[in-house]
Amino acid sequence: MSTRIALIGAGGKMGCRLTDNFLKCSYLVDYVEVGPRGLENLKARGVRVVAEDQAVEAADVVILAVPDVAMGEIAERVLRRMRPGSLLITLDPAAPLDGQIPHRDDVACVVAHPCHPSVFNWEPTEQAFRDFYGGISAKQAIICALMRGGEPHYELGVAIARDMYAPVSRVHRVSLEQMAMLEPALVETLAQTCMEAVKEGCDRVVAAGVPAEAVRDFALGHLRIQIAVLFGEVDGTFSDAAYKITRRARSVLFRDNWQRIFELSDIRDQVRDITTR
C-alpha cells in the first residue's frame, strides 16, 4: 500500500521542487496550496489542489514546505488534524528548535534538509553541473534528525527525503541541535555573511575601475583553490605571503568572540530571529 502524503505549501519556492520530484514517485500525494502564485505554479504543472483539512486527515505523512515565519501557526493547525501514528516532516531546524512545533505523543517528527550539491561535485553534463540547488539532476547529500518518534518513523522520513531531494548521494543523521549548528549558524550566519562581504568587496573593486570580468574571474578562481586547499580536496598549501596577510586580516575583520555563534544560546537567538515576523 502506497504511503499517503500531504504536501503543505506545494506551490511555493521549496514546495515546487518537492512537487516536481513527487510527480515522479509512486506516493499518493495530496498537494495543498492557498497562495495565488503557488496556485498558478501548480496549475502550470497540471497538479490538482486538495483542501488542507482533507489532505491532512487522510495522510500518513504531512510535509510542511512553508516559510519559517508561518511554521508555528500552520504546524499548530495541522497537528490537531493529523492521524495518530502519522509523521510530520519539516524542512528546516529553525522552527522546531524555537519550539514552534506543538508536541503530540502520538505523532512523530523528522527534520530533513538538503546539503545542496558540493562545489566539488563531478557531474557528467553541464546541465547537471548547473543544478546548483539540487533536487533535479546534481547529486547531493542530505541531513536528517529525528525530533520525536521511533526508528520506523525515522526510516520512513529518510526514505521520503531521499525521493523529495533526489538524486541523493548519502544521508547524514544528526540531532536537531547539531542541524541548527549547521544551519543557520555555519552556513548562513557565518558562511553567507562572509560571502556577502566578498561580493561587496568585488563590487568595491569594480567601482574603483578594475574591469568587472577580470574581478569575477580572479575572485571565483581564487575562491575555488582556497576552498580546495582548506577542505583537503588538493594536497597543496598557500603561499607564505597569503598566510601572513590572513593573520593580519583576522583582527580587522572578526571580533575575538565571533565563534559564540555556535553556542546553543546564541543559536536559539538566531532561530528566533528567523521565525519572528
Q: Could you give the CA distance from residue 190 to residue 183 in angstroms, rounded to a whole number?
A: 10
- Domain boundaries, given as residue ranges, for the chain: 4-174, 181-275
Closest CA to 194 of 170, 223, 221, 172: 223
Q: Could you give the CA distance from residue 144 to residue 175 in angstroms, rounded to a whole number?
A: 8
The per-residue pLDDT string of the chain (277 residues; one tens digit each, 9 = 90 and over) reads: 699 999 999 999 999 999 999 999 999 999 999 999 999 999 999 999 999 999 999 999 999 999 999 999 999 999 999 999 999 999 999 999 999 999 999 999 999 999 999 999 999 999 999 999 999 999 999 999 999 999 999 999 999 999 999 999 999 999 999 999 999 999 999 999 999 999 999 999 999 999 999 999 999 999 999 999 999 999 999 999 999 999 999 999 999 999 999 999 999 999 999 999 8
Q: Strand 61-64 and strand 4-8: pairing?
A: parallel
Closest CA to 173 of 110, 116, 117, 121: 110
Domain 4-174 CATH superfamily: NAD(P)-binding Rossmann-like Domain (3.40.50.720)
Q: Could you give the CA distance from residue 46 to residue 37 in angstroms, rounded to a whole number?
A: 14
